[in-house]
Amino acid sequence: MSKRLVVAIDGPAGAGKSTLARRIADKLGILYIDSGAMYRAIGLWALRSGISLEDAQRLEQLAQQAHIELLPQGGRVLLNGEDVTEAIRTPEVSEAASKASAVPGVRRAMVEQQRRMAREASVVMEGRDIGTVVFPDADVKIYLDADAAERARRRMAEAEARGGRPDALQMQREIDERDARDRSRSTAPLMQAPDAVYLDSTGLSISEVEQEVLRIIRERTSNGKELQA
Ligand code: DC
């Protein structure tokens, strides 16, 4: 008998969620969903259309109208048919996404889409509220953390790999601000689900974290059932 598997990975910016989630999904041959990319797409659309990030009503309308596709091949992100994979990774969009994601109506629209994406398939989904709100019944919940300086270093390296020339202090400030906003918002704040496994990736290699998460998944699913990809 096969069973759908839902693996939820939450944590602050730069903890290594995306890399980990992608590798776990690859290993298990199941779908990877980057829920942050969806909030980023909304942030990008708001910036482009000149909608104020304080205007909850218009942001909610925008989120309801947005057609967001996460293509499994190559992790491309489409917004209303346009490939916005690179456009959503700028510092301006990071901030806009964090602000837009604090709007309850925006979250409602995204959570509905996220649940729809996982209805038919096994998934690894990463974000801030996956284990607490989107899938409170997820089979495996991981809260991935790392110390603030390490997280800023990783984001710097990512920005440099994209050809940027980030300023270390500014990067640290932006991450701190964004995490504070994501943790303190009233709807679905970033927090560890009571039944999530806490993992601190500071000083660990990605393969060490991956091995540990695969071990947890095996432990939780070792009841003889096969995965349905
Ligand atoms: O993971 P990320 O940095 O790409 O996410 C972008 C923003 O979206 C981040 O500031 C927090 C928000 N977000 C959220 O509120 N809930 C999620 N499930 C995923 C991301």
11 CB near ligand 1 (under 6 Å): no
pLDDT at 2: 56
Encoded tokens for 101: 């994601």
CA separation for the pair 113, 116 (Å, rounded): 5
Q: In what side-by-side order are the strands of the sheet with 140-145?
A: 31-34, 123-127, 6-10, 140-145, 197-200
pLDDT of residue 166: 83
**Cβ 85 under 6 angstroms from ligand 1:** no
CATH at 72: 3.40.50.300
pLDDT on residue 43: 98
**Residue 228: what pLDDT?**
56
114 within ligand 1 shell (Cβ under 6 A):
no
Distance from Cα 113 to the centre of ligand 1, integer Å: 15
Residue 193, domain extent: 1-30+122-221
Considering the domain boundaries, does residue 229 fall inside one?
no
Extract the tokens encoding 102. Answer: 């604090």
Residue 9 · residue 20 · CB < 8 Å: yes
pLDDT of residue 180: 92
| Inside any domain, residue 180 | yes
Residue 182 counted as domain residue? yes
Q: Domain for residue 227, yes or no?
A: no
For the CA of 17, the closest atom of ligand 1 is: 1
Residue 26 lies in a domain: yes
What are the 10-residue block averages of pLDDT along the chain, 229 residues in total? 84 94 96 97 98 98 97 92 96 94 98 94 96 97 94 88 86 90 93 97 94 95 59
**Ligand 1 centre and the CA of 59: distance in Å?**
16
Last residue in a domain, options 119, 144, 161: 119
**216 and 138 belong to one structural domain:** yes
